[in-house]
Amino acid sequence: MSQIENTKVQALISAAKDGFNKAYAPYSQFRVGAAALTANGKIVKGCNVENASYGLTVCAERNCLAQGVIAGEQRFTAMVIYTNQEKLTPPCGACRQVIAEFLAPEALVMAVNNNNNSQQWTVSELLPDAFTPQDLLTNKEII
């Protein structure tokens, strides 16, 4: 697992809490905030945004990474996910796939809750054998 300075981890937790406070979750009341550290040392954050058409809801992790991409970042070194649930909340399957797109297999992903409990994984622990850009064919020839 890549090592991240404790001050950066604390800053990520603080940013994820801020995202959590801005979450739009009127239907489930399940608010989530996320923050990611870019390869350039910047922190971007996101929150979940629900929709009355439930399938259109977007998770905090994907919103967070999208905010980074909008800001010109495409490489991230760590992510923190914050909820107020007793049980720590790992990313859903769709988020795991998007995380694998932008973070290295050994990058840190951490879940934190309002009780200051935490759990850490690497990207490859969350999504072993992930389908990544390296798996796409470089030869466009039809066989």
d(CA 4, CA 108): 8
DSSP state string for 100-139: HHHEEEEEEEEEEETTS-EEEEEHHHHSTT---GGGS-S-
Domain boundaries, the chain: 6-135
Question: Which contiguous run of DSSP H or E holds residue 40?
Answer: none
Does the pTM surpass 0.85? The reply is yes
Low-confidence ranges of the chain (pLDDT < 50): 142-143
User: Domain 6-135, what architecture?
Assistant: 3-Layer(aba) Sandwich (3.40)
Known binding residues: 48-54, 59, 92, 95
Which member of 61, 73, 86, 101 is catalytic?
61
Would you state the pLDDT for residue 138? 66
Query: What is the per-residue pLDDT for 141?
Result: 56
Q: Does residue 45 contact residue 63 with C-beta atoms inside 8 Å?
A: no
Annotated binding residues for substrate: 48-54
For residue range 69-101, list pLDDT tens digits in order.
Answer: 999 999 999 999 999 999 999 999 999 999 999
Q: Is 61 a catalytic residue?
A: yes
pLDDT of residue 27: 97
